[in-house]
Amino acid sequence: MRLDKYLCESTELTRSLARSVLRQDRVTVNGQVCRNGALSVQEGDTVCLDGNTMARRGPRYIMLHKPAGFACSSEEGDHPSALNLLDIDKAEGLHFAGRLDADTTGLVLLTDDGQWSHRITSPRRGCEKRYRAELAQAVTTELVARFATGLLLRGEDSPTLPAQLELISEQSDTVEIPLSSTRVYLTLREGRYHQVKRMFGAAGNRVVALHRDRIGKIVLDADLQPGEWRYLTPEEIACFDQD
């Protein structure tokens, strides 16, 4: 890794500030002053800034409960970036391992580990994502069957992969509330553009509200309120290596 990049990943310095401290002879590599930002730092090298040993920050893995009105993008557009919700150093270095529309709420995973996120987003891995949808019209048993076999979406050449559509029931302290024909769980193993909304649209229905609560084996933490986040546990991080 280049020395200037190593400094950026070990401190709060930007790339331009890293070059500045290098020019000021404030950086040593294995005890020798170094001004060359392009120097390759090898494993076992000791890099110091102002006499303090630098340790490269490890990869970060984050669970975010995204509220409505935020975009899964690093750039500001019609909606603010969900990165603004993370009160951490250099949040801009993270990327989204699977996006949500601005008006969709729920589980978002962020990381700066490209290989890890690829295991989540690669179509060949078929990582399951579960959504809770509120629909404009009641769901029929025929629609459940259609989702199970796949739907051909407008502008697509091939049907969607089989998807699991389930009606939602809720438990109270004393009684089970009957199944709702407009509230459903939908589990997908692919991630086409606006897929959930397009699937229901192709079936003549409309999504009123959409929330993602699971990606693979990672379930949205019930203690996280909209806009809150936490680091993933080692077990959560490792679960995608088991797929």
- Would you identify the CATH topology of the domain 61-242? Pseudouridine synthase (3.30.2350)
State the sign of the Cα–Cα–Cα–Cα dihedral 144, 146, 150, 151.
Answer: negative
Q: State pLDDT tens for residues 13-72.
A: 888 999 999 999 999 999 999 999 999 999 889 999 999 998 877 789 999 999 999 999
Question: Which residue spans of the chain are classified as CATH 3.30.2350.10?
Answer: 61-242
Q: State pLDDT tens for residues 167-207.
A: 987 655 555 545 668 999 999 999 899 999 999 999 999 99
How far apart (Å, rounded) are the C-alpha atoms in residues 86 and 64? Answer: 9
Q: For the domain with range 3-53, which CATH number is right: 2.60.40.10, 3.40.50.970, 3.40.47.10, 3.10.290.10?
A: 3.10.290.10
pTM comes to 0.80
Average pLDDT for the chain: 91
Q: Which stretches of 36-160 are DSSP H helices?
A: 114-121, 141-149
Under the banding of pLDDT at 50, 70 and 90, the label for residue 11 is confident
Tell me which residues are annotated as active site: 101
Contacts of residue 233, Cβ cutoff 8 Å, sequence gap at least 6: none
